[in-house]
Structure 1
Amino acid sequence: MREATLVVIPVYDHEHAIGAVVQGVLASGLPCLLVDDGSHAACAATLQDLADAQPDHVALLRLPTNQGKGGAMLAGFAEAARRGYSHVLQIDADGQHEPGDIPRFQALARQHPHAVICGTPAYDESVPKARLYGRYATHIWVWINTLSLQIRDSMCGFRVYPLAPVIRLVGEETIGRRMDFDSEILVRLFWREVQVISVPTRVTYPSDGVSHFDVWRDNVRISRMHTRLFFGMLARAPRLLWRRRRGTRAA
């Protein structure tokens, strides 16, 4: 597996924002894989145009039906591994993330090639206050389920993964395939002693005005995910506490 990063963008009906996101990614010098998560015709055509315009830098993977963000990322991981990449950089398709920060993420990934480099959002005034405050419930549950404060924000979809431990994880355990994906995969990687390094990054909400977060269904999924992780944490608590004590001694 070569030491190289592939940017994977899960896309579902973000035809108005995705062009600017792709251009920002390409400006960083990294290749890009668009995962079409069962988009409707207008977005599917836009994605095809982007791939056709720069076939050496933009690839397109189509899923026949909508799998959810997690399902799209799992397909992207598998494709990145098939192509021989060592890392995957995940960024959202709606324009809320700042592609200009990719070099900072990459620099940290080169310094810490076995760690996840995870964005910590610095929001502007566009963030809905209910969503902003609602995130803290997940933050607290993640801190409980890891017995650690190392994961500053588990919901930001801007991050770099070392691919080898991710492929092992998804081959051995079931990961949430929708909006529960981002938090669950970080917690489960942390349980496997993959370091998580946080980096601040500007986040806006979202540039095309389209959000696929279903307040009822996704909150139920996330609550169920936290419950599953809590019982998983109980079984791992002695080892997690030992790791925490070991880290304190090392510090």
Structure 2
Amino acid sequence: MSYQLACVIPVYNHPDCLVDLVAYLAVLPHPIIVVNDGSDAQTSAILGDLAQQYSQMTLLEHAQNMGKGQAVMTGLKKAAEMGCSHALQLDADGQHRWQDIEKFIAISELHPTDVVIGCPVFDASVPKKRLYGRYMTHIWVWINSLSLEIKDSMCGFRIYPLAETLKIVNQHHLPQRMGFDSEILVRLGWAGLHFRNIDTPVIYPEHGVSHFRVWEDNWVLTKMHSRLFAGMLCRFPKLITQRVKGRR
């Protein structure tokens, strides 16, 4: 299959950047798949208007909020149905630098079997609690993947090879919410895929909206990492063999 990419945007009550984001993506020669994950009336109205304005935009609707992970999975499956080989995931909250999209795609085209993931470069706007929490997840991911190849597993700016990614999506019960971004990368690493880490600025807008639930989501992430740790132990001989062959 030739390289064909779609842009997948999960949206849940992030109305502020949508118009500018879709306008930016519409200039690129790639279909846009926006998943409305049960957003409020304001956000849904904006998305409906954008779908009418841009013919290259496909709008998918979840009747109720199902979580970012499920929204991404819905978008990835639609991209495959459209005949795409790769999907670029991009958050709708305005944290990412859209000008890096072309750089991500260029690297993905050169290395189509690899996963391209954003490695955030934060400025002073990043909340310190969120920053420290990320490093705890990084450590778990490095342990569970037996590799340092995944520099940041939480950045929602990445490109997936669809065939390998959807194979994992269809075989496993992946987290529907925040844990998806990390678990899918660990499982792709277990499957033998490699990663391309791209430095990209990430900001936290002054009036940005975060749907991260500190206690609930941290508890869910803890259980996820524990489950992945058990999975890593079961795969330990195979993973060690993969790492040794990879270094050779």
**TM-score normalised to the size of structure 1?**
0.96
Partners of 1:2 and 1:84 within 8 A in 2: no
Say yes or no: does 1:95 pair with 2:94: yes
Q: Which amino acid aligns with 1:204?
A: I
Shift of 1:247: 2.1
Q: What does 1:61-210 align with in structure 2 at a 5 Å threshold?
A: 61-206=60-205, 208-210=207-209
Shift of 1:163: 0.3
Shift of 1:65: 1.0
Partners of 2:26 and 2:54 within 8 A in 1: no
Shift of 1:22: 1.7
| Structure 1 residue aligned with 2:33 | 33
Q: CA 1:192/1:180 → structure 2, altered by over 3 Å: closer, same or farther?
A: same
Q: Which amino acid aligns with 2:66?
A: Q
Say yes or no: does 1:12 pair with 2:44: no
Partners of 1:28 and 1:100 within 8 A in 2: no
Partner of 1:13, secondary structure, is coil
- Please identify, of 181-190 and 1-10, the stretch whose mean Cα deviation from structure 2 is larger: 1-10
| Structure 2 residue aligned with 1:46 | 46
Q: Which amino acid aligns with 1:231?
A: A
Shift of 1:135: 0.5
Q: Which amino acid aligns with 2:48?
A: Q
Shift of 1:107: 0.8
Instruction: Give the unaligned 5+ runs of structure 2.
Output: none
Q: Which amino acid aligns with 2:40?
A: H
Shift of 1:177: 0.7
| Structure 2 residue aligned with 1:216 | 215
**TM-score normalised to the size of structure 2?**
0.97
* 1:150-205 per-position Cα deviation (integer Å, ceiling 9, x unaligned): 00000000000000001111111111110001000000011001111111011011
Ranges of 4+ aligned residues in structure 1 off by more than 3 Å: none
**What RMSD in Å do the two structures reach over aligned CA positions?**
1.2
Partners of 2:3 and 2:109 within 8 A in 1: no
Distance, in Å, in 1 between the alignment partners of 2:120 and 2:230 is: 28
